Chain A
Amino acid sequence: MPNSSGENNPGETAPSVIDTVEAACIESAVNLVNTFVSKEVNLSHCKIVVFSEEMAKQGISKEIYSLMNKVEVRPDTNIIISTTTAEEYITSVKPSLENLVAKFYEILPRSSEYTGYTSDIHLIDFFNKLESMSEEPIAILR
């Protein structure tokens, strides 16, 4: 199942890097990426996780569990579901008012405080609602 996650920008104007790896789950994908990338990919600075809609329709609870189980992943990473494939969504994001894409991702969901059309969903909220018997999980749709 193809899988790709949002990556952080290393510098002010350095281009963003996209590596694609095909694997069965997030853990093995990170392992495979670690084999050819010189620095250790640690998801501790991960700001967003993007799932494509067709993958989301098949259920993403396993990926959410593996993300929650890692100690380095921050509980406030956002979960985004994109109507196109994840790679197309990430390459198409060119924020007009920001230099760094990471900064854009960080403050974008905060706009849910003054808009009704989006919401600030963290990984911990998603996970809690998944596990709770009285709530349904929601994610940001782009």
Chain B
Amino acid sequence: MVAITAVASFAIPDFSFGFHLRLMRFIFIFLGYIAGFFGIALGIFVYLCILTNLKSFGVPYMAPYAPVTKVNSNGYFLEPVWRREKRADYLNTKKEKAQNHISMKWRYK
């Protein structure tokens, strides 16, 4: 379990995001001490509620999952840059097309 936690903590890209993890770890240990497994489960739920309530620059934090938005080649499977034609749905942009249908015209000629 500890190994999985340690490896998972390497998945955080930026160093300043790591403070959040340390604080949360402390809070969850405290909850686990008070009420065991049950406390951790409740802590997870409250944490999830807070996360889904956040908005960064107007975009909800859990964007493709929480309000379910269309995934225009921006989800799990990314297309190469020259094929991404539409902008992401959760941005609510005015112009949805980011580039033309076939942008690399020289490739197909």
**Direct interface between A and B, CB < 8 A:** no
B interface residues with partner A (beta carbon < 8 Å) = none
